[in-house]
Amino acid sequence: MMDINDIKHLATERIYLIPDSSEGQLGYVWCDDPAPGFDMDPSEAVEYVRKDVHDDIIKRQASSAKIGMNAAKAVAGSYLEQAKRMYAECSPEALESEREANAQLTERIAQLEQERDTLAYRNTGLIQQCRAAERQRDEQLSKLRALNHGSTSEAWHWMGNGEDHLESLVCPILISAENLKAIFSDRDDYRAAEELQINLREKMQDERDALAAHVERLRAALNYCSEYLYGSHLNTIGHGSKAHMEMVSALEETPATSLALLNQEPEAWMYQHEETGRIGFIEQDEVDRGFERNNPRLQLICPLYRRKAERGA
């Protein structure tokens, strides 16, 4: 025996009330076709839908409306968070903090320039010491030449002109023991001074290169921060984050790490969306293929290196 639900589903989902004048006057009859005759107009029929079908349509419409409202709430929440972040970045406290960091960078650059001048003065002193050693060498060579007392076929008279070649002589040499010791002593002192001069020059060159790289790094960070504070990107999330990272990285570096990073290619980059603040990472290959050109709203924040050159070491 069939229940009421089975009977409902046997009924057609849609039925139409159509006008009928077959008995001489206008009336209405039920039909499952809105225009069963050739001369009938479907627009004149009134459509009725079975109640369970109608309820299902209403339910689907309500579900779609609920999904749309939830999506609208999520978008509104995202816009609210973005507005809060932009308000925080534009606050007087944030601007004052960036100005203080700018002043610290300026002071640090002045200190580094003073250290550079001090090292240059030391280098000048070392050069003067080397020249004094060369003059002493020349004086000793002059004394050696004065020891020549004449010529004889049985002995070699020490000339001191660089052509004596002591290791190749097989005949007697006319030279005093005191002067011979002085020659060896001067030779050792000269070699030691020459090695010291070479080592000092290499050290000074390394320190000068490191200081130059560090000063250039600090100057670049200061220039970017100045452009951010007084340029057109003051309230842009991506540019603000990059200015902050530039200042922090520059202050943490030392001359040695600045020089090491100068000769090291970055492995990857950190970027940030200028509106939503979303942060992500990409490899150097993507930057080389035009990442900034293809993504104008994504701002590159800072490069990322391997631990080969550690900051602050």
* Most confident residue range from 7-16, 21-30, 118-127: 118-127
d(CA 192, CA 182): 15
Structure tokens at 177: 């023991």
* 68 alpha carbon, distance to own chain's centre: 40
- Which residue would you say has higher pLDDT here, 107 or 311? 107
- Which residue would you say has higher pLDDT here, 142 or 237? 142
Q: What is the pTM for the complete model shown?
A: 0.32
Other Cβ atoms less than 10 A from the Cβ of 36: the count is 13
pLDDT tens by residue, 25-53:
888 888 888 888 888 888 888 888 877 77
Residues in the chain: 313
**HSE (side-chain half, CA atoms, 13 Å) at 123:** 16
pLDDT band at residue 294 under the 50/70/90 scheme: confident
Domain boundaries, the chain: 4-84, 90-304
